[in-house]
Amino acid sequence: MNLFFKYNYKLTLALLFFIISLFFTLPVFAAVPDLPGAATAVADKSVEIEAQYLYYDKEANLYHAQGGVIIRQEGMELKADKAVLNQAANEFEAWGDVLLRDKTDYLACRYLKFNYKDQIGSIRDGRIFIKEKNYYITGEHIQKLGQNEYVVENATLTTCDAERAAWLIRSRKVHVKKGGYGVVDDAVFTVKNVPILYLPKGVFPVNTKRQTGFLLPAIGYSDKDGVIVKGAFFWAINRSNDLTLYPEYYSERGIKFGGEYRYVLNEQAAGDVRASFISDKLVDDNPEDYEDADKERWSFGMHHFQTLKIGSTLKADVNLVSDNEFLEDFPATFSGNFIDELDNVDSKTETYLRSLAIASHSWEHYNVTATGRYYQSLLRKSSDETLQLLPEITMSALNQPVFGADWLFWRMGTDYSHFWRREGETGHRFDIHPQINMPLKFGALEVIPYLELRETWYDLSDRVNGKSDGSESRATMAVGIELKSVAEKVYACDWWGMDCLLHTMEPMLAYRYVPDVDQDDLPDFDRLDYLPEESNVTWGLVSRLVGRYPDSTSPDRFDYHEWLKFQIGQAYSFIDVADGIRFLEDDQHASNFYTQLETRSRAGGFYMKLENRFDPYENTNELMTALFSTSNQRGDSLSLEYRYERDLTELCTGVARLPLASWIDIYGSIRYSIADSHIWETIYGFNYHPQCWSLDFSVDEERDPYDLSFRLMLSLNGLGGLETGN
């Protein structure tokens, strides 16, 4: 059973004092001349004052406005029954039905007084509405004691529109101090005016900007971990660096220490580093369940992205854990936010945890990329036998003319790879792969003959099975020709906003020849280490339907949408050699016959994709997939997927959501194995969501092995939620 309470009280109070701060720092109108009885006056270039009666008292140096007072200033509008400006005291007062509108936010009160020099003032019976989050905030007495210091008495907050709010927070007193911290006294969370939760005193940051302080804890329970308490301290080091420390207490495991450091070097460079450590008592107490784990467990992660002015890019994504069961016990380790329990790395489906580092630079016709890849096994205790690529350097020359000719082109790829592991064969590989091609145009037909050369060298170590001394090489070549064409026709139409419809037919025919070369002594690092003999022809056809939509704002601009795409293709080999990809056996000359149909609506409410691979020798389908999804603006949605792989699986999945009314939806999903006549998993539930809160309940039933769980989440708009489950 898991129980977490996420209470975002600090955010709502931060927004309260942010809008109050906006009000108290509004520019004050300048003095108007002596205009008794005037209806309108312009105080200065940016301020306009309207009133039924506008008068200047020279002796008292007061400006009086009464009766329908309106003050406008750069998008702000203040309405009141009466207003007085004391120029000598640098303050003004407003009475009656005072209403301040600043863009989409409103402040209403009975009385307002403000000293615009000392930045102090007060409001009585104030009510604030913030449209973006639909916040309603009230305070019986709000005082501004100085720069960034406030006291609010008898404050309330809600996001409910109804006069009798479904939920409300009441607080006797809140004191926001100069350092950006607030102290709350006697805060009560109520539902339909019934007290539910009481907080006698609390300290929290209220600055809407990044602010050093403690984050609210999360509390929970599970059968395996026991009582769970998660806390965090956030340190805003400066504008471009911050650090979060988050200790987590597990009654059955111990204390897990974690930290996350985030940095921004400049507009082109940013990243984060995170790590955690726990001395896990559960590993010591249950060694039979943790055969691949030690008591001292840890994780380390890093992300970095940088673009240099010279056109280079740097990227790093490092993810490491102490053992292959760490992510199963702590699935949120590499999530985007340490509090976010939903963005997880799925250790049940992933076989490796990947780390990657890339540096690249591009010129007009050339590109250089250096890559390092490290794989940590999530299945075996050790990754000593896992092959790593540290590093790979690729240099590419893009297609460009030979000696300036417009009919002959060349390109080349060069690759250096270092394959490494603690146990097993390792080595260096250098591969150079130039090509020369000659594109020819014959009307609508394009013919591209080409010639490829390839030389590959190896320097190997830890050779096995009595193979050679570690130095190997391979020389091969390929020659081929491609024929491509596009036939198209445009149909004038007036359907669904289109003014014309384009239909294309794009046939392709290619032949490729690769001679048989001796590769028996080469290692088996990846696909490049074995290049099968080839003498095959490949044909294909692509057909499209593309609609054109005129832009109503400009007659010369158009939008295009691909309504339908259909593909078919097959390859035929003239030799009895299997390549392990298209030709799986030596005596098979024809590959699987491939077809695919894809269509989607322009608004995105309908999508369908059908794919099939047919085996002509077995006269049966090797692969069939069908995906259908539809949705509408009301919120109805349906998705159905069918997948068949011969001798592997035949599975059907369905997901649906149906709004019964504007305030309640029902939803469900099912995974059914047709091959086994067995339901793998069903999920069903409902979401009840009136205006300012929601309740989501779902049941998840897994059948293999059987496991029943439920989830209940209560969410309050603007505050967060309370979630339970098992």
Average pLDDT over residues 500-507: 96
Tens of pLDDT, residue by residue over 448-495, are 999 999 999 999 886 555 455 678 999 999 999 999 999 999 999 988
What pLDDT score does 45 carry? 47
For residues 697-714, average pLDDT: 76
What is residue 567's predicted lDDT score, i.e. its pLDDT?
97
Express each pLDDT in 405-460 by its tens digit. 889 999 999 999 999 998 888 999 999 999 999 999 999 999 999 999 999 999 98
Better pLDDT: 209 or 543? 543
Which among 688, 694, 628 is positioned nearest to 659, based on CA atoms?
A: 688
Query: Which residues, other chains included, contact 503 with Cβ-Cβ below 8 Å and sequence gap of 6+?
Result: 488, 489, 490, 491, 543, 544, 545
Q: What is the mean pLDDT of the chain?
A: 83
Q: What is the mean pLDDT of residues 84-104?
A: 81
Band (pLDDT 50/70/90 cuts) for residue 8 is very low
Residue 63 has pLDDT above 90, yes or no: no
Per-residue pLDDT band at 624 (split at 50, 70, 90): very high
Q: How confident is the model at residue 664 (pLDDT cuts 50, 70, 90)?
A: very high
Is residue 182 helix, strand or coil? strand
The CB-side HSE value for 91 (13 A sphere, CA atoms) comes to 12
Read off the pLDDT of residues 385-395 as tens digits, 9 standing for 90 and up. 889 999 999 99
Q: How does pLDDT run across 546-594, given as a tens digit for each residue?
A: 999 998 888 788 999 999 999 999 999 999 887 777 887 778 899 999 9
Q: Output 184 or 424, whichever has higher pLDDT.
A: 424
Tell me the per-residue pLDDT of 590-621, one tens digit each, with 9 for 90 and over.
999 999 999 999 887 899 999 999 999 889 99
Of the two residues 146 and 81, the one the predictor is more confident about is 81
pLDDT at 263: 94
pLDDT of residue 273: 94
Rounded to an integer, what distance in angstroms lies between the CA atom of residue 329 and that of residue 548? 53
Bond preceding residue 36 cis, omega within 30 of 0: no
DSSP string for residues in 389-427: EEEEEEEEEEEEESTT-SS-EEEEEEEEEEEE-SSS-EE
Q: How far apart are CA 570 and CA 575, in angstroms?
A: 16
HSE (side-chain half, CA atoms, 13 Å) at 601: 13
The percent of residues in the chain predicted with pLDDT above 70, rounded, is 83
Concatenated DSSP letters of 691-703: TTEEEEEEEEEEE
- Report the pLDDT value the prediction gives residue 43, as an integer from 0 to 100: 47
pLDDT (tens digit per residue) in 251-260: 989 999 999 9
Percent of the chain with pLDDT strictly greater than 90: 41
Overall size of the chain counted in residues: 726
Note the maximum CA span of the chain.
Answer: 112
Question: Which of these, 441, 469, 440, 435, lies nearest to 454 by C-alpha position?
Answer: 435
Position 645 scores a pLDDT of 92
Are the beta carbons of 311 and 337 closer than 8 angstroms? no
Q: What is the pLDDT of residue 574?
A: 93
